[in-house]
Amino acid sequence: MREVTDRDNRNRALLVVGVVVLVLAVVFGVVLPDRAEEQRQLAETHAQIRKGIEQFRAEQYELSAETLGNIPAERVDDWHVPYYLGSALVQLKDYENGAARLEEALALNPQNENILFALGVAYFKLGNLGLSKAYFASVIEINPGNEEARGLMDIMAKLERQSGAPAESE
């Protein structure tokens, strides 16, 4: 009887070793390459973001919009991508899509003066003076010294006085 118990213990030990080897094979054979692939994709995404921002700063708005627009949404967790994409679209006079991307950026970074300002411009171009003014007012709240936002608010106030109606379009 004791002989069967020793054999059973050896079999259990071999089974445990086999399971450990299998787990190690899975971890090092499957998980690590996935992690390496994730790292490669992350590096590629960051390079693509840098390229799109550089294109935007070089006033290559079409290229910038194409570069940033080709980044898969599941890889975007940074406000810079929708901000620069939205800003490029506004420069290309695609105000509606630009505003939508800028709204995404604002959701990721709600106190960013540049995003709020760009949204003010986009909605001004869309003819929604009320919303535009609200965004410029938010810019001024964050940075009371922003003369550009103040100037645009003054222009909109003049437009409202000329039209004789409140700026609540759309």
- Compute, in degrees rounded to 10, the torsion defined by CA atoms 71, 73, 74, 77: 90
Cβ atoms of 48 and 71 within 8 Å: the answer is yes
With a cut of 80, say whether residue 76 has pLDDT above it.
no
Cβ atoms of 127 and 170 within 8 Å: the answer is yes
Spatial separation of the C-alpha atoms in residues 88 and 104, rounded to whole Å: 14
Tens-place pLDDT, residues 106-163? 999 999 999 999 999 999 999 999 999 999 999 999 999 999 999 988 888 887 788 7
Owner of token pair 């003066």? 113
Task: Write the single-letter amino acid at 124.
Answer: F
Q: Which two tokens stand for residue 91?
A: 């420069």
Mean pLDDT of 8-24: 68
Query: pLDDT-based confidence at 169, cuts 50/70/90?
Result: very low
